[in-house]
Amino acid sequence: QPVDVIIIEYGLPYIPLAELISAARGVSRSIRFVVMSHDVVNARLALSAGADTFDSRNESPDRLLETLQRSEMK
């Protein structure tokens, strides 16, 4: 099954975010990455690593749904 969106927590141990994004995009350029974290300071770091969007884990589940719907439109 093709993957449309990958949702990942920022700062997971042993998972270098930029390398993960690069490897996945090597398989499919259309994969979108939503990076989540409790700390919104990580947003700039996640975006510079290649994430398409960042969402705070402090937001409601409805906010994540909105983010996913926006990522489908790209």
The model carries a pTM of 0.80
- Chain length of the chain: 74
Write out the two tokens for 48: 């510079």
Q: How far apart are CA 17 and CA 14, in angstroms?
A: 9
Write out the two tokens for 23: 């490897």
Q: How far apart are CA 35 and CA 49, in angstroms?
A: 10
pLDDT (tens digit per residue) in 20-65:
999 988 888 888 999 998 888 888 888 998 999 888 888 888 888 8
DSSP string across 3-27: --EEEEETT-TT--HHHHHHHHHHH
